[in-house]
């Protein structure tokens, strides 16, 4: 009887403590998503050139779960975000996503045997955190951090920092320079070109 | 690719036990160094960035890492800004409880209707460290935090195009031919030898940065890699069992650690991104590299060119990827350089 009560209490306590712990585990979320990516990349059924498009399609699904692309775009445009109309913002988010895909998909598809190690998770305020990881390849390590934000209890990535170089900041500097001289519409035109041409 | 690192371990399994003994020795001499290494963020593990940043005409990597970044002093300690500044600038999103939907209006799925003020907290990324002054002055939007003056932009852009052509027309084809002749494992060993010989550069900079654990690690590495790594052919010290990773230290960084700002951006022909501070640092590092003192001057120059060729062959594709991903490649490279150098200095100052 007593034992049972204890057991129940114990379980309830565990559940209670597990809930916030889970919500507060940016690292787990990122790691889970990265593992999904790896399992797609290493899927023996998806070998060869023919399966490339299938792989890409599967990766896109993971990307949408893993990344908060609106947040990423907002932070990239920063104060310039205000210069964009709602429609322009929408288009920017879509175009920027495609620019990133184009830029990084081949690199990502080339990763197969590299080992990925997850290290620390650094809280940065109540709904922000940074998850550190390393890619170990060819005898050298590449540190990669994921900056995540929690919205509706889900952690999503809004910036990736490779070797201490923040992707969002890197593009922000570029867009700032461009938007100092051009209109949002002109920037969108440049991005459309970028996405179209290879 | 990934096989290469294994190779080092496999090649010399017999020496493993000797290495354990060496490890014990290192523990005695540099024990403190070892222990400090576990705790703080990995300091030394930032390898390819520079190769990447300057991938085309890259400065020789370990021998002389080029430099630039805003004054470390101005930015390094300012992290708390996240809360105060943001909260002030933007009462909406960031102050509301994290779980509450109000975060949403502008960030939620539809990209629309963000209210003006709500967006001003945007730029305050984790890096946005050094804008506190500006934030006080005007409630206006803050510039992105890490920038560098670029008064020479026309020259720099011209040099960017020069370096770009140099890479695609000359350096890359040569490096590709070279890579065809020598397998990657051999090229990594060649790199290791160069890096090992340049030990004084890193050691002296560790000391000048008043970082004795770093100096101890470097000394341990030099002994282990010279003796058991067969004259530096194998970087055994970086192996997991020994775990003494290379301490990438350079004079530009040392100057930065002591509070000297980068000045402004310079994109040198051949050498690539730099600044006045880092150019001086590069010159000093070269003077500390024993290979620069090999007698006839052209021998030293050839060695440097050989090293550069070897490095390029190991990083083909990095510059291409960066360029392809960029909207304005010149600005992308300049910014990557600024961020990389800034954090390289910050990593040292943060630990003190």
Domains in chain A and their CATH numbers? 3-196 (3.10.450.710)
Q: Is A90 on the interface with B (CB under 8 A)?
A: yes
Q: Is A142 on the interface with B (CB under 8 A)?
A: yes
Q: Which residues contact A65 (CB under 8 A, 6 or more apart)?
A: A33
- Distance from C-alpha of A172 to C-alpha of A146, rounded to nearest angstrom: 17
Interval B299-319 mean pLDDT: 91
- Distance from C-alpha of A91 to C-alpha of A88, rounded to nearest angstrom: 5
Domain-ending residue, one of B91, B116, B141: B116
Instruction: Using alpha carbons, list the distances in angstroms from residue A73 to A69, A146, B131.
Output: 6, 15, 21
- For residues B100 and B173, state if they share a domain: no
Task: Tell me if B282 is assigned to some domain.
Answer: yes
List the domain range (segments joined by +) for residue B110: 49-116
CB contact under 8 A, B144 and A153: no
Burial class (CB in 10 A: 0-12, 13-18, 19+), A81: buried
Tokens of B99: 């779980």
> Does residue B338 register a pLDDT over 50?
yes
Q: Is B340 on the interface with A (CB under 8 A)?
A: yes
Distance in Å, alpha carbon of B302 to nearest chain A alpha carbon: 26
Q: Which candidate, B276, B274, B266, B258, places its Cα nearest to that of B205?
A: B258
Distance in Å, alpha carbon of B296 to nearest chain A alpha carbon: 34
Q: Is B138 on the interface with A (CB under 8 A)?
A: no
- For residues B167 and B311, state if they share a domain: yes
| B291 and B197 Cβ atoms separated by less than 8 Å | yes
**Phi/psi of residue A142, each to 5°?**
-115, 110
State the ipTM, two decimals: 0.81
- Distance from C-alpha of B225 to C-alpha of B219, rounded to nearest angstrom: 10
- For residues B290 and B339, state if they share a domain: yes
Contacting B residues, span 193-232, partner chain A, CB-CB under 8 Å: none
pTM: 0.70
Q: Is A189 on the interface with B (CB under 8 A)?
A: no
CB contact under 8 A, A74 and B106: yes
Residues of B in contact with A128 (CB under 8 A): 82, 126
Domain-ending residue, one of B67, B88, B116: B116
> Does residue B100 register a pLDDT over 80?
no
Write the residue in B83, B108, B116 that is nearest to A125 by C-beta: B83
Task: Tell me if B14 is assigned to some domain.
Answer: no
Report chain B's mean pLDDT, rounded to a whole number.
69
- For residues B329 and B182, state if they share a domain: yes
- For residues B337 and B247, state if they share a domain: yes
Task: Tell me if B125 is assigned to some domain.
Answer: no
- For residues B104 and B239, state if they share a domain: no
- For residues B208 and B336, state if they share a domain: yes
Instruction: Using alpha carbons, list the distances in angstroms from residue A31 to A99, A117, A119, A137, A166.
Output: 24, 9, 10, 18, 19
Residue range B35-76, pLDDT digits in tens: 333 333 333 333 333 333 333 333 333 333 333 333 333 333
Task: Tell me if B158 is assigned to some domain.
Answer: yes
The count of C-alpha atoms lying within 13 angstroms of the C-alpha of A7, restricted to the half-sphere facing its C-beta, is: 4
Tokens of B58: 């890259």
Task: Tell me if B340 is assigned to some domain.
Answer: yes
Q: Give the position of tokens 């998850």.
A: A131
> Does residue B84 register a pLDDT over 50?
no
Residue range A50-98, pLDDT digits in tens: 788 888 899 999 999 999 999 999 999 988 999 999 999 999 999 999 9
- Distance from C-alpha of A44 to C-alpha of B178, rounded to nearest angstrom: 33
pLDDT band at B296 (very low <50, low <70, confident <90, very high): confident
CB contact under 8 A, A138 and B1: yes
- For residues B157 and B112, state if they share a domain: no
- For residues B201 and B304, state if they share a domain: yes
Q: Which candidate, B281, B348, B342, B296, places its Cα nearest to that of B53?
A: B342
3-state helix, strand, coil in chain B (%, to 5): 65, 0, 35
Interval B325-332 mean pLDDT: 94
- For residues B228 and B94, state if they share a domain: no
- For residues B77 and B222, state if they share a domain: no
**Phi/psi of residue B150, each to 5°?**
-135, 60
> Does residue B204 register a pLDDT over 90?
yes
- The domain tally of chain B equals 2
- For residues B187 and B81, state if they share a domain: no
Residues of chain A with confidence (pLDDT) below 70:
1-24, 138-139, 198
Task: Tell me if B36 is assigned to some domain.
Answer: no
- Distance from C-alpha of B233 to C-alpha of B222, rounded to nearest angstrom: 11
């Amino acid at each position: 009887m007593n034992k049972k009560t204890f057991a129940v209490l114990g379980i309830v306590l565990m559940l209670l403590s597990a809930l916030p712990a889970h919500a507060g585990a940016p690292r787990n979320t990122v790691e889970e998503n990265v593992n999904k990516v790896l399992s797609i990349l290493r899927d023996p059924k998806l070998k060869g050139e023919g399966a490339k498009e299938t792989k890409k399609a599967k990766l896109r699904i993971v990307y949408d779960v893993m990344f908060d692309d609106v947040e990423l775009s907002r932070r990239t445009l920063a104060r310039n975000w205000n210069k964009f109309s709602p429609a322009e913002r929408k288009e920017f988010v879509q175009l920027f996503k495609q620019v990133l895909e184009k830029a990084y998909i081949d690199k990502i598809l080339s990763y197969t045997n590299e080992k990925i190690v997850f290290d620390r998770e650094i809280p940065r305020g109540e709904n922000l955190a940074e998850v550190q990881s390393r890619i170990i390849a060819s005898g050298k390590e590449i540190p990669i951090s994921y900056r995540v934000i929690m919205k509706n209890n889900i952690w999503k990535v809004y910036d990736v920092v490779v070797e201490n170089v923040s992707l969002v900041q890197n593009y922000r500097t570029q867009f700032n320079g461009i938007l100092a001289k051009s209109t949002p519409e002109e920037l969108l035109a440049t991005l459309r070109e970028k996405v179209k041409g290879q | 690719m990934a096989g290469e690192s294994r190779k080092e371990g496999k090649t010399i399994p017999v020496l493993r036990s000797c290495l354990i003994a060496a490890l014990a020795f290192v523990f005695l001499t540099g024990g403190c160094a070892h222990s400090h290494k576990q705790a703080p963020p990995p300091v030394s593990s930032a390898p390819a960035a520079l190769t990447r940043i300057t991938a085309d005409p890259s400065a020789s990597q370990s021998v002389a890492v080029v430099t630039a970044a805003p004054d470390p002093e101005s930015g390094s300690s300012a992290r708390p800004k996240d809360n105060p500044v943001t909260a002030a600038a933007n009462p909406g999103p960031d102050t509301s409880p994290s779980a509450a939907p109000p975060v949403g209006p502008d960030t939620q799925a539809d990209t629309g209707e963000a209210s003006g003020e709500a967006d001003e907290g945007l730029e305050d990324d984790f890096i946005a460290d050094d804008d506190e002054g500006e934030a006080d002055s005007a409630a206006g939007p803050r510039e992105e935090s890490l920038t560098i003056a670029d008064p020479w932009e026309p020259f720099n852009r011209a040099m960017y195009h020069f370096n770009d052509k140099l890479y695609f027309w000359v350096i890359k084809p040569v490096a590709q031919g070279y890579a065809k002749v020598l397998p990657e494992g051999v090229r990594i060993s060649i790199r290791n030898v160069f890096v090992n010989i340049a030990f004084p550069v890193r050691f002296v900079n560790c000391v000048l940065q008043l970082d004795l654990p770093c100096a101890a690690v470097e000394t341990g590495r030099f002994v282990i890699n010279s003796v058991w790594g067969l004259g530096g052919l194998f970087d055994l010290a970086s192996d997991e069992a020994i775990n003494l990773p290379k301490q990438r230290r350079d004079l530009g960084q040392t100057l930065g650690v002591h509070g000297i700002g980068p000045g402004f951006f310079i994109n040198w022909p051949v050498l690539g991104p730099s600044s006045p501070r880092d150019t001086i640092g590069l010159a000093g590092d070269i003077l500390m590299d024993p290979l620069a003192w090999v007698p006839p001057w052209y021998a030293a120059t050839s060695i440097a060119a050989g090293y550069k060729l070897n490095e390029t062959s190991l990083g083909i594709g990095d510059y291409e990827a960066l360029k392809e991903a960029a909207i304005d490649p010149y600005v992308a490279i300049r910014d990557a350089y600024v961020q990389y150098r800034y954090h390289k200095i910050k990593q040292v100052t943060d630990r003190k």
